């Protein structure tokens, strides 16, 4: 299961169960190293804003896919 903020607080559209779809998807070990580097959102620090609704892990997987394959954003699967 994904442990990004969107899934921890139940705001994500999907259920958080993840299966790697592409060779560029992050492993659990890679995600564990990246997660502490992500900034804490303003709403968690009392600065307002809305809770996140997009899975950061899925977004990073998409960026890695794009970098590896060099396709245009509109051609993303």
pTM score, whole prediction = 0.69
Q: State the Rg of the chain over Cα.
A: 13
Q: Residue 21 — φ and ψ, nearest 5°?
A: -100, -30
Which residues span the domain enclosing 29? 5-75
70 backbone dihedrals φ, ψ, rounded to 5°: 60, 40
- Residue that wins the pLDDT comparison between 72 and 64: 64
Residue-wise pLDDT tens digits, 26-48: 898 998 899 889 888 777 777 77
What is the per-residue pLDDT for 66?
A: 84
Q: Tokens 């509109």 identify what position?
A: 74
- Contact between residue 59 and residue 10 where contact means Cβ atoms under 8 Å apart: no
Running DSSP on this structure, what letter comes out for residue 59?
A: H
For the record, the structure tokens of 1 come out as 């299961």
| Number of domains composing the chain | 1
């Amino acid at each position: 299961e994904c442990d990004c903020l969107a899934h921890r607080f139940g705001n994500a559209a999907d259920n958080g169960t993840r299966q790697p779809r592409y060779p560029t998807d992050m492993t659990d070990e890679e995600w564990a190293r990246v997660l502490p580097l992500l900034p804490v959102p303003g709403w968690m620090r009392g600065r307002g804003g809305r809770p996140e609704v997009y899975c950061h892990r899925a977004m990073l997987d998409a960026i890695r896919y794009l970098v590896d394959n060099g396709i245009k954003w509109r051609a993303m699967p």
